[in-house]
Amino acid sequence: MPTVAFIGLGNMGGPMAANLVKAGVRVYGFDVVPAAMETASTNGITVVDDPLEAVAQAEVVLTMLPSGQQVISAYQDSPGLLSAARPGTIFLDCSTINISEAQQAAELAQQSGFRAADAPVSGGVVGAEAGTLAFMVGAGDEVFAEIEPLLEIMGARVVHCGTNGLGQAAKICNNMILGITQIAVGEAFVLGEKLGLTHQALFDVVSKASGQCWALTTNCPVPGPVPTSPANRNYQPGFAGALMAKDLNLATNALDEQGVQAQLGRLATEIYSEFAQGEGAGQDFSAIINTIRENSQP
Ligand code: NAD
């Protein structure tokens, strides 16, 4: 297995790096937050004070950072990660960022003579800890073949979506569907309540009918029908409203760039942006049902 420089050891990166170490991969890690470095160190990651030192040891430089601007800055701001890499290094970005930023990051790496891939994930912190993430990969065939074994350590599903940027494209399209359907399920349950349907009766019908979807059968927004859904633990995430708002904003940026109409995608972005300005930011995104209910006075 290639040696990995892991940059960004936060909620997702920390457990992902720990799983690589458990599988016997040599991992050098860096984070700007000392507490993240300390946790990583206890999990067997060789932490270094200078990210360039990690990169100089590595064959794969994996970034797991909050935004595209942070990825691009980390790559190129002097002295950037690109300045320290060895010939043949693969720059593998697993952050969720704009498609155009993913393409720009790949171009920067390629212009410096390196190889690049985007591989955003779904599955959240629980999936990162369990090593069951789904990876959506944008890369050439040869790069994909080299990184696939590493991704299989951290994930349960790895899909090669096409060339650079198309991993992000798949992730953003999926999460646009997810945001829209979670709102739709919330609206249907509030309407059902008003009409006198019990949550269980509505669930029993829809979960076996044409309205069936993940937002209902796994992330059911009311307590009861699906005991493991966040609604049963006061909407503790799960997938936080702030992250859904972030991903929908990425989707809207892509819709604008491509000139796609997508009225529902744009409306979902507005709804979750507002939701994430308040306490919804830290709640599971299925708590949008509470906003719908509050705004549903006769
Ligand atoms: P996080 O904020 O917990 O972790 C990001 C880490 O990057 C932080 O520890 C931060 O200190 C560090 N960092 C920032 N700039 C840095 C730099 N220049 N060098 C080194 N470290 C730096 O965020 P997270 O929840 O781990 O998310 C990471 C990425 O994964 C995001 O793009 C997010 O959208 C995506 N994602 C998150 C989830 C989730 O459920 N948390 C699910 C899927 C995808």
Determine whether the shortest distance from the Cβ of 30 to ligand 1 is under 6 A.
yes
| Shortest-distance Cα residue to atom 1 of ligand 1 | 10
Instruction: Tell me which architecture the domain covering 4-163 has in CATH.
Output: 3-Layer(aba) Sandwich (3.40)
Q: What is the mean pLDDT of residues 9-14?
A: 96
H/E stretch holding 157:
strand 155-162
DSSP state of 284: B
Q: Which of 171, 194, 208, 246 is catalytic?
A: 171
54-109 pLDDT, tens digit each: 999 999 999 999 999 999 999 999 889 999 999 999 999 999 999 999 999 999 99
What residue spans define the domains of the chain?
4-163, 169-294
Tens-place pLDDT, residues 236-256: 988 999 999 999 999 999 999
How confident is residue 10, by pLDDT bands cut at 50, 70 and 90?
very high
Backbone angles phi, psi at 164, to 5 degrees: -55, 130
68 Cβ closer than 6 Å to some ligand 1 atom: no
Give the pLDDT score at 298.
76
Active site residue 194: no
Place of tokens 């000392």: 34
CA distances to 4, 283, 297 from 279, rounded to whole Å, are 37, 7, 21
Ligand 1 pocket member 106 (CB < 6 A): no
Ligand 1 geometric centre to CA of 54 (Å): 18
Rounded CA-CA distance 167/170 in Å is 5
Q: Using a 6 Å cutoff on CB, does residue 70 contact ligand 1?
A: yes
DSSP 3-state of 149: helix
Angle between helices 13-22 and 34-42 (to 10 degrees): 20
User: Mean pLDDT in the chain?
Assistant: 97
CATH architecture of 169-294: Orthogonal Bundle (1.10)
3-class secondary-structure state, position 204: helix
Backbone phi and psi for residue 120, each to the nearest 5 degrees, phi listed first: -65, 165
Does residue 208 surpass a pLDDT of 80? yes
Above pLDDT 70, what percent of the chain? 100
Residues 132-154 pLDDT 10s: 999 999 999 999 999 999 999 99
What is the whole-number distance in angstroms between the Cα of residue 65 and the centre of ligand 1? 4
pLDDT at 214: 96
Report percent pLDDT > 90 for the chain.
Answer: 96
